[in-house]
Amino acid sequence: MRRIKHRDGVALCVLSSALLLAGQPPPGLVGIYIRYLQPVQGNLPLLALFTVLSVFAFTTTFGALLVFAGGWYFLLGRVSRGRFLVGFGVGFTSLTMASRLAYTVLIGATPLDFFLPLATTVTGLGILLGTMAHTVMGQYALLLKKHARNAVRRWRRARRAGRPRVEDPDLRSPT
Q: Choose the most confident range, by mean pLDDT, from 5-14, 37-46, 158-167.
A: 37-46
pLDDT at 95: 79
What share of the chain in percent tops pLDDT 70?
83
Within 8 A by CB and 6+ apart from 89, the residues are 17, 20, 62, 63, 64, 65, 66, 67, 68, 69, 70, 130
Residue 2, pLDDT > 50, answer: no
Residue 4 burial (CB count, 10 A)? 13
pLDDT in tens, 118-145: 777 777 777 777 877 777 777 776 676 7
Domain chopping of the chain, boundaries: 7-162
- Average pLDDT (20-44) is 80
Could you tell me the sign of the dihedral formed by the alpha carbons of 30, 12, 71, 55, in that order?
positive
Residue closest to 86 by CA, chosen among 146, 9, 3, 23:
9
Are 47 and 40 in contact, with CB atoms under 8 Å apart? yes
What is the rounded distance in angstroms from the CA atom of residue 49 to the CA atom of residue 46? 5
Within 8 A by CB and 6+ apart from 131, the residues are 90
pLDDT at 158: 80
Residue 4, pLDDT > 70, answer: no
Q: Phi, psi (5° rounding) for residue 160?
A: -65, -35
What is the rounded distance in angstroms from the CA atom of residue 160 to the CA atom of residue 12? 44
pLDDT in tens, 39-82: 888 889 988 888 888 777 777 788 888 888 988 888 887 878 88
To the nearest whole number, what is the mean pLDDT of the chain?
A: 77
